[in-house]
Amino acid sequence: MGKQRKHWSPELKEQLVLAVLQGDQTVAQLAREHGVAESLIHKWRTQFLEAGRARLVSNQQDLTVKALERENERLKNLLGEKELSLYIAKKARGL
């Protein structure tokens, strides 16, 4: 039978990644200390940074979508007012 895979908690992953990003310890030091492959710490670091980047992009997209939704609502209201004005004008003319 093959080796049993280890499961690393999200808390430990975050702790290791933050230690690397803050420059507290090197990847090699952390890998030895925690019995984790260096490549795995590099992978976690990449995933951590990608998730952060995706969230920042998502925030910008959320703001754009909200602005477009507000503009859409404004235009719907304007269209409704114009249709009402046109309806009233037609009724006044007896059409």
For the residues 25-46, what does the mean pLDDT come to?
95
Rounded CA-CA distance 26/76 in Å is 57
Q: How confident is the model at residue 64 (pLDDT cuts 50, 70, 90)?
A: confident
pLDDT score recorded for residue 80: 94
For residue 87, give both structure tokens: 């309806």
What single-letter DSSP state applies at residue 7? -
What is the number of alpha carbons within 13 Å of residue 48 lying toward its C-beta?
18
Rounded CA-CA distance 52/58 in Å is 10
For the residues 13-36, what does the mean pLDDT come to?
94
pTM, full prediction = 0.56
